[in-house]
Amino acid sequence: MRDGAVLDLKDLAKGKLSWESIRGDGRAQVIGGSAVGLVVLLVVLLLTLTTCGGGGGSGARAKDKDGEKAPEGPSEAVVAITPKDGADGVETSSGALKVTAAKGKLTKVTVADGKDNPVKGSLTADGSAWKPATHLAAGTKYTVDAVAEDTEGRASAKHATFTTFVPQNTFVGYFTPENGDKVGAGMPVSVKFNRPVSDRKAVEKAISVTADPKVEVEGHWFGDQRLDFRPEEYWKSGTKVTLDLNLSGVEGSEGVYGTQRKTVEFTVGRQQVSVVDAEKKSMTVTRDGKKIKTIPITSGSPAHPTYNGKMVISEKHPVTRMNGETVGFGGEYDIKDVPHAMRLSTSGTFIHGNYWTPKPQFGQVNASHGCVGLFDLRGGGDNGSPGAWFFENSMVGDVVEVKNSKDETIDPDNGLNGWNVPWEKWTAPQ
């Protein structure tokens, strides 16, 4: 542009002037604005021309990170959730909930109950379906969120809620030991049901027992209302055991459903095993593999011998009453103040203090009605007797093994005495 020439911005906008023609020594005359205004306007015009006429403008398709054109339009993947959104009275079986994807693969499925507890599940190998790992709880609202992608990577999502039914007929399991207990190494996990169970497989699947340190733990049924769990050998000292009861929604028998959802934790204090030799009339106490005491005893008489076998202490009583009529011995005895009594069987076998037998007979004569007696003083308490010592040094879950008695081996379900079942039989299908 010539010095002093007039710049008509309309000509510039119409393309009548080239950018080179407006370059000068700064003395150009501007119509309708100052030199600063010219600069601003030039920038605006430059952006306008670039946007309207340059490549990559608003009419161009976006590109992905590899420079390829991203697919346009909605995803072809179709997510389906069964039961339908808002459904009520849904069955609790694992097959009642299913998430599928057509024309695509599921990439994420989240299922949770009303308390935000997740429901575990798994995808099929081809990503076409997701199924829960176990049954659903009864009377519970669930939320399902699922995402699938088609072959072009486009996502499709679906959300649904539903509520399971509330059963009219229910059952529960009463468990031993209790949450927070500290027990001996022989304590099994025992669950007794208040109603008969016909579908043992479904109920056993809903109950798990795990240990830390890890050890294999298996369940075994005693009839249709009791299920016990134990490892092959006695628990190791310090083991932490967890019982998980996930019975809510489980159909134990036709039309009868579980209602419990509970976690129970207990600890094994130490491994104490006391071996009673009925023939030698003595008991040797071993703790964590170390012999700590030998005590003279009296066991069952020839007419009423003590059971053989491995028995677990299930109760402890500083003083209790023992009446022969309650265990089939008529009026042969009724002692109202038996000291330091610990139950070994449901049928009435105890290991307890004995103050009515002369002290010299302990270790010499078997004279009881089937119990194991230790010399003691009337009234119990910390009296320094063998009976008092053993009571103070025993806990629920400790093991008392009786051998060389003239009686048979105790039935494994007579108390917490499943250790008398060989491991091969314990783990065999029932």
Domain residue limits, the chain = 6-45, 78-164, 169-268, 272-416
**CA-CA distance, 221 to 103, in Å (whole number)?**
47
Q: Which two tokens stand for residue 283?
A: 């008991």
User: What's the pLDDT score for residue 66?
Assistant: 55
In this prediction, residue 64 carries a pLDDT of 52
Supply the pLDDT for residue 67: 57
Within this chain, domains 78-164 and 169-268 share the same CATH topology:
yes
Please tell me the distance from the alpha carbon of residue 424 to that of residue 428, in angstroms, as a whole number.
Answer: 6
Indicate if 135 belongs to the active site.
no
CATH topology of domain 78-164: Immunoglobulin-like (2.60.40)
Nearest residue to 176 via CA among 167, 189, 185: 189
Residues whose CB falls within 8 Å of the CB of residue 125, separated by 6 or more in sequence, listed in order: none
The pLDDT assigned to 327 comes to 75
Query: What are phi and psi for residue 387, nearest 5 degrees?
Result: -65, -40
| This prediction's pTM | 0.79
According to the model, what pLDDT value does residue 330 have?
A: 72
Show Cβ contacts of residue 59 under 8 Å, excluding neighbours closer than 6 positions. none
User: What Å distances lie between residue 112 and 109, 136, 263, CA to CA?
Assistant: 10, 10, 18
Cβ pair 228, 312 in contact under 8 A: no
Q: Which of 135, 220, 340, 371 is catalytic?
A: 371
User: Contact at 8 Å (CB) between 186 and 312?
Assistant: yes
Residue 189 contacts residue 176 (beta carbons within 8 Å): yes
Residue 70's pLDDT is what? 61
Of 135, 220, 340, 352, which is the active-site residue? 352
Query: Collapsing DSSP states into helix, strand and coil, what is residue 91?
Result: coil
pLDDT at residue number 34:
42
E strand or H helix that includes residue 45: helix 35-53
Q: Radius of gyration of the chain from Cα atoms?
A: 40
Report the alpha-carbon distance of residue 248 to residue 200 in Å, rounded: 15
Establish whether 352 is a catalytic residue. Answer: yes
Instruction: Specify the CATH architecture of the domain 169-268.
Output: Sandwich (2.60)
Residues of the chain with pLDDT under 50: 1-63, 65
Report, at the CATH architecture level, how domain 272-416 is classified. Beta Barrel (2.40)
